[in-house]
Structure 1
Amino acid sequence: MTDYYEILGVSRTASEEEIKKAYRHKSRQYHPDIAGPEFEEKFKEVNSAYEVLSDPDKRQMYDAGVDPNNPQSGYGAGFSGMGDMGDIFSSFFGSAFGAASGSGPIPRTQPGRDSLESMTIDLRTAVFGGNQKFTVDTFGVCNQCGGSGSQDGSQPQTCPDCHGSGQVQKMVRTMLGTMMSSSPCPTCQGHGTVIEDPCTVCHGQGRVRVKRDMTVSIPAGIVDDARIRLAHQGEVGECGGPAGDLYIDVRIKPDRQFTRQGNDLHCWIRVPMSWAVLGHTVEIDTFDGMHNVDIPAGCQPEQTVTVKNLGVTDIRDNTERGDLIVHVNVEIPTKLNDKERSLIEQFCDMHDDEDGQLDCNAKPVAPAKKGFFTKLKEAFN
């Protein structure tokens, strides 16, 4: 029978709130839109587990040995014989009803859980990719016992109380009379074996909490809030169990100079009015080093200049890159002497009459754009 408690990563005594919290974490971890389409089946398993464990009636039936999500278990299809009933009673009363008690001892070697962490990278790393150092707080193999859980490396011995079954029985008085009840053995916690000399560091678990330094490879073109999966880099399982996977949510911190839109980078530069009028070559600092940008003659405020292939690397095709979009802000002088003002006014009179003409039209139209020097003249006045 599917272990729904293990799927959600909770104990069998978990409260409703603990189950709900675990479900929220797991559903986000395995959601196909976040983790990828390959986790669709895992996501369905998480939903199936929560459907059963969040419903008190279904959870009670599941704890009794019947899987409500499995039609062959007899749930919802009527009790057609004593076979299913025998399984239910055997979970409560042991072999007194002719069925084997419990599901056998719990293996000491358990697989480790998946881990979810987050890291922050700069925009340059997102553009080109690279290696990022990262410290993860997780479970690792106990160096003292090598993961065995035993101080002297000896093998676990058969439990003297349950004789290896992992279950103990006791007499229970009920309204139907005296019956046998099964429960996990308190001596071995249901494992069927005991470690006679537990490791003093990990206390028989075979693993300890550690901080591990690692290097994460960041793919070029990665987007903000992307998730990276590192197989077998999560928590190490108990007593030498295989490690789970490590998932890292990547955040890209804002850059002081550039902003990103898709695979394009945007930046803003301020140029003098004369450069905008006559044209000029500006040297700007990019992620690829210093680069010359040609400001065309007659450049208007808020006009953009596109520089090809200086943007973000395409994550699907590392040979392609986006563009660098340079936004030009024209700096208008605020203080002029009499000679400068006279020259500007003469220039305005010569060039802005034509630009300022309006077309008469019966239909309402947007106001005609004013010439650059008309705006300049108005600003001075």
Structure 2
Amino acid sequence: MAKRDFYEVLGVARGASADEIKKAYRTKAKELHPDRNQDNPDAEAQFKEVNEAYDVLKDDTRKAAYDRYGHAAFEGGMGGGGPRGGYAGQGDFASAFSDVFEDLFGDFVGGRAGGGRSRASRGSDLRYNLRIALEDAFAGVQKTITVPGSVACTACNGTGAEGGAEPVSCPTCSGLGKVRAQNGFFTVERTCPTCNGAGQVVKNPCRVCHGAGRVEKERTLSVNIPAGVETGTRIRLAGEGEPGLRGGPAGDLYIFIEVKEHAIFQRDGLMLFCRVPVSMASAALGGEVEVPTIDGGRSRVKIPAGSQSGRQMRLRGKGMPALRGGGAGDMLIELAVETPVNLTTRQKELLREFEKIEAENNPETASFFKKVKTFWDGMKG
């Protein structure tokens, strides 16, 4: 398959300047990078094609040869027409790829292409798991927590150098944080072994933190837990994570909430459920029962005569509050009709007497056994 015109690959005119070519290359490389196009099987080939085009057009000598002879300038007997006699796959591919790598990820590693790397690096984020009671989740609470970790070294003000002196540029990589080695036609780029990619080194490391710029120490923090939180709620405390390396910004502290199970209430979002036992007599005759509410109060609930187990009654606005406002949910009372145990002789006599006359007053029982009889008759047939 014939190679496409390099200018067409990058989407620029033949008279484009070096800056226009570089800008077009970065745009295309970002767009076609395989890591961003995992669902596109052609992305890798297109990405290589863009790098190949840029490797030629970024070099004035090779660009002039390409403008005059086209692809033939680097093929067959004319392979010596350029300073390296090959495309990006045979030439300084690492140099071409480094340009787009810095452009794509420079913000995260602390520097941009040509600008070196910053000596400071952001601290790590921390996670703290906090268990609270349902009552605290309802009302909100202030908790004091102890966070293990590290703090900026006061002896060197977080610089890592004795007396707070500023680090100096790494002599191995000249402050770039990376070194390159030529291996035949390939250029291999790796992290600088002297500064570990920081770009700067400390001549006289701090005796307290040994050049790290931070020391291990527990911290005590006061945290406000808002009303309405539930298990899985995440609270972010900006700048309360690990301090940055050598004066870099601190990370964040993320507090993950776990609400403990309650002995009386069960929660589902904004709804609360409370299972309340009632006697057979109260369920049959009707009555009242006093139930607790999550705010520590009490509510009297009327039990309709003839109530069955599982019957629910709603208390409006007695559930959990919505996080960040917006009202509150309801509380559902579920009746559990309780069968008495350890009966006295007199109680047994009364129940047997009651059993003889209650059949006609149990419509659900009559309906069920009528269906059972129909089922058995059907099986016999």
Q: Normalising to structure 2: TM-score of the pair? A: 0.61
Matched, 1:263 2:274: no
Go from structure 1 to structure 2 and tell me whether the alpha carbon gap of 1:327 and 1:137 turns closer, same or farther (over 3 Å shift). Answer: same
Contact (CA 8 Å) 2:142, 2:222: kept in 1 or not? Answer: yes
Contact (CA 8 Å) 2:158, 2:164: kept in 1 or not? Answer: no
Give the distance between the partners of 1:180 and 1:333, measured in 2 at CA. 87
2:132 match: 121
Go from structure 1 to structure 2 and tell me whether the alpha carbon gap of 1:70 and 1:207 turns closer, same or farther (over 3 Å shift). Answer: farther
Give the distance between the partners of 1:218 and 1:104, measured in 2 at CA. 43
Give the distance between the partners of 2:45 and 2:140, measured in 1 at CA. 45
Letter in 1 for 2:51: Y
**Aligned counterpart for 2:51 among listed residues 75, 95, 103:** 75
Contact (CA 8 Å) 2:94, 2:187: kept in 1 or not? Answer: no
Give the distance between the partners of 2:321 and 2:270, measured in 1 at CA. 7
- The Cα shift of 1:110 comes to 1.5
Contact (CA 8 Å) 1:306, 1:323: kept in 2 or not? Answer: yes
The farther-off stretch of 160-169 and 328-337 is 160-169
Matches within 5 A, 1:21-100: 51=35, 74-75=50-51, 80-81=56-57, 83=59, 85=88, 88=93
Go from structure 1 to structure 2 and tell me whether the alpha carbon gap of 1:74 and 1:272 turns closer, same or farther (over 3 Å shift). Answer: same
Instruction: Kindly report the root-mean-square deviation, in angstroms, between the aligned alpha carbons of the 2 structures.
Output: 4.3
**Aligned counterpart for 2:159 among listed residues 148, 151, 165:** 148
- The Cα shift of 1:349 comes to 4.6
Matches within 5 A, 1:208-247: 208-247=215-254
1:106 match: 117
Letter in 2 for 1:317: G
Go from structure 1 to structure 2 and tell me whether the alpha carbon gap of 1:126 and 1:72 turns closer, same or farther (over 3 Å shift). Answer: farther
SS at match of 1:75: helix
Matches within 5 A, 1:292-303: 292-296=299-303, 297-303=305-311
Give the distance between the partners of 1:308 and 1:250, measured in 2 at CA. 27
- The Cα shift of 1:222 comes to 2.0
- The Cα shift of 1:291 comes to 0.8
* Unaligned 5+ runs, structure 1: 1-47, 55-66, 93-101, 360-364, 370-381
Go from structure 1 to structure 2 and tell me whether the alpha carbon gap of 1:358 and 1:244 turns closer, same or farther (over 3 Å shift). Answer: closer
Aligned residues: percent identity? 33
Give the distance between the partners of 1:278 and 1:326, measured in 2 at CA. 18
1:175-214 deviation digits (Å, cap 9, x = unpaired): 57xx998766554445554323211222222123332222
1:132 match: 143
2:360 match: 353
1:311 match: 319
Matches within 5 A, 1:155-170: 155-159=166-170
2:3 match: none
Go from structure 1 to structure 2 and tell me whether the alpha carbon gap of 1:340 and 1:186 turns closer, same or farther (over 3 Å shift). Answer: closer
Letter in 1 for 2:314: T
Higher normalized helix content (fraction of residues)? 2
1:205 match: 212
SS at match of 2:149: strand
Q: How many residues are aligned here?
A: 292
Matches within 5 A, 1:176-191: 186-189=193-196, 191=198
Structure index of larger Rg: 2
2:279 match: 272
SS at match of 1:243: coil
Q: Normalising to structure 1: TM-score of the pair? A: 0.61
Go from structure 1 to structure 2 and tell me whether the alpha carbon gap of 1:271 and 1:139 turns closer, same or farther (over 3 Å shift). Answer: same
Give the distance between the partners of 1:51 and 1:272, measured in 2 at CA. 66
Letter in 2 for 1:264: M
